[in-house]
Structure 1
């Protein structure tokens, strides 16, 4: 599988310390693998995300952060624990998943 065919979707929230550590590590991975898309979905508002990033001096320049996530995929993907990650190929087939910190 070509790297450009991969998307990693991360489910997180600002109250989850393992989530913040993981997103920091994923940002480093995103730098090392620029052809892989990293998307981080959070139920937190855009303002809450910006305040968190400012307070912790985080940039997450290589991760697309999507605030105001409202559990659209929870029932389909069984996302009930943060952090959770889903690896999807170009055909939208789940190739892997991780749950918890």
Structure 2
């Protein structure tokens, strides 16, 4: 009996885990265009949920900008999703510290709720097929190396 249970457990562990599909969304970007996640299939997506009142979010932005520049030509996109109901503070921050990646505005928090964002910042990495492959909550200097490792792994697939 024990051997049979062990065999069943080992067989279950050998099955590939199915990653959950990222919720599709469309949001208005800083440049005025609407961007839809589902239209980005074929690219690896790093989606960073942030707020201007969040110190670690602000600290992380330049590192995200460097990642965006480094991997853009390899089919990796970085999107910043601001979760504030009033985007004035975010716009003021972006005027002082501009970034090259799209910044979108989730003023009703529907997208952050769909992604179950519970901490600021939250970074979600979505593979080329639209599946969520990793979620990172919070930020400390050096976390960008984790994101980069995730991206490199997905580029090798």
| TM-score interval (norm. to shorter) | 0.7 to 0.9
TM-score (normalizing by structure 1): 0.81
**How many residues end up aligned between the 2 structures?**
95
| Contact 1:10/1:86 (<8 A) preserved | yes
TM-score (normalizing by structure 2): 0.54
Q: Deviations over 1:22-77 (max 9, x none)?
A: 121100111111131111111234432221123xx31101x110124322134432
Unaligned runs of 5+ in 2: 1-41, 140-157
Change (3 A) 1:59 1:97: same
Unaligned runs of 5+ in 1: none
d(CA) in 1 for partners of 2:65 and 2:88? 20
Q: Which of 89, 101, 106 is the equivalent residue of 1:48?
A: 89
| Contact 1:49/1:67 (<8 A) preserved | no
Does 1 or 2 have the higher relative contact order (CA < 8 Å, sep 6+)? 1
Q: Which has the larger radius of gyration?
A: 2
Q: Which residue of 1 aligns with 2:102?
A: 64
Return the structure number with greater helix share: 2
| Contact 2:43/2:76 (<8 A) preserved | yes
For structure 1, which segment, 5-14 or 71-80, has the greater mean C-alpha deviation from structure 2 after superposition?
A: 71-80
What do you get for the CA RMSD once the two structures are aligned?
Answer: 1.8
| Contact 2:126/2:134 (<8 A) preserved | yes
d(CA) in 2 for partners of 1:47 and 1:75? 21
| Contact 1:16/1:82 (<8 A) preserved | yes
